[in-house]
Amino acid sequence: MSETSFIKKSALGIRCLIVSLLHRGAVLGLLGCLAIACSASVLGQWRRPRASAKPPAVMPPSTNKEQTATPAQDFDTLATQASAAREGDRIDEAITLYTKALTLRPQWAEGWWYLATLYYDHDNYKEAAEAFKQTAQIQQKAGAPWAMLGLCEFQLARYDEALLHIQQGRQLGLGDNGELVRVMRYHEGLLSILKGNFEVAQQTLSALSYAGLKSEDLIIALGLASLRIGMTPKQVDINYRDRDLVRRAGLAQGLREGRQRSVCLWAFHDDQPR
């Protein structure tokens, strides 16, 4: 073999070896890159959650806060519903709603008043007395709550308290509530009978008769005051043995007041210019 041919073969062998080495290095390098890329991908998965991952158990506060009702809003709602139930004659519902509203606003005098009247109109005098008492304590210068408290106490046979509060209501004034004035004066007369103040009772009841008020209970009450009998008209029922006597005495007293009224009216009209 010539020297030239040997050199060519040797050069060819070295080239093949280099190509082989280069090829192997590229493969290893590629494998290394792939390994690095895979490692980076795995590390990335630990560093941040995937988009489809579940949220944490405790979420940060939302920027869109839910609107919750305030106590004032709750009270306004209950007060409106209570008024509608009362006007719709849904008594039990109205009582429940007024009670809830008053829990939120205990100084609501109007609510106590309406609650008391609902109880009173349905003969629940104990609950009515408590509600009227609350009203009177809030509006101490108003006469009507004190008078109504006294009327409830009369029905509960708390006669001393009843007279005190009825008189307190009369002194404070009841405005233009004529019906309440008449009822209050009538019960004031009955309480005077029960306390033995028959002359005071006769004057009070006679004034009602003179004003034109006519009722069976008033006739009996006038008879009791005239005969000095310490009872109430409710006790003088049809089984009471002296009922006719009491009634005749009351009628006589009423007729006398009626004649006096007629004389006064005649004198007034006769004195007018013609």
φ, ψ for residue 162 (rounded to 5)?
A: -60, -50
- Evaluate whether residue 219 is within a structural domain: yes
- For residues 147 and 174, the answer to whether their CB atoms sit within 8 Å is yes
Residue 141 has pLDDT above 60, yes or no: yes
AA identity, residue 178: G
In a domain, 154, yes or no: no
> Does 9 have pLDDT greater than 80?
no
The predicted structure's pLDDT at residue 110: 96
Asked whether 146 and 131 are in contact (CB, 8 A), the reply is: no
Structural domain includes residue 46? no
Q: Rounded mean pLDDT of 38-53?
A: 36
Mean pLDDT score, 221-244 = 95
Residue 224 is assigned to a structural domain of this protein: yes
Residue in this structure with the two tokens 């006589």, named with its chain if needed? 252
* Cβ atoms of 135 and 109 closer than 8 Å: yes
| pLDDT band at residue 68 under the 50/70/90 scheme | low
Q: Is residue 235 part of a domain?
A: yes
Residue 124 included in any domain: no
- For residue 90, being part of any structural domain is answered with no
What are the start-end ranges of the E strands in 78-185? Answer: none
Helix (H, G, I), strand (E, B) or coil at 88: coil
What's the pLDDT band for 259 if we cut at 50, 70, 90? low
Taken in order 64, 69, 71, 73, is the CA torsion positive or negative?
Answer: positive
R_g (Cα) of the chain, nearest Å: 49
Q: How much is the mean pLDDT over the chain?
A: 78
Output the pLDDT for position 71. 72
DSSP 33-70: HHHHHHHHHHHHHHHS--TTSPPPSSPPPPSSPPP---
Mean pLDDT of 16-34: 42
Q: What residue numbers bound the domain in which 244 lies?
A: 199-274
Quick: pLDDT tens for 145-184. 999 999 999 999 999 999 999 999 999 998 888 999 999 9
What would the two tokens of residue 221 be? 């009450």
Three-state DSSP string of 136-156: HHHCCCCHHHHHHHHHHHHHC
Q: Cα separations (Å) of 146 from 132, 141, 239? A: 7, 9, 35
**What total number of domains does the chain contain?**
1
Q: What pLDDT score does 218 carry?
A: 95
The residues, ordered by sequence, that sit 6+ positions from 122 with a Cβ below 8 Å of its Cβ are 91
In a domain, 270, yes or no: yes
What confidence tier does 41 reach under pLDDT thresholds 50, 70, 90?
very low
Contact yes or no for 188/170 (Cβ under 8 A)? yes
Which whole number is the average pLDDT over 224-246? 95
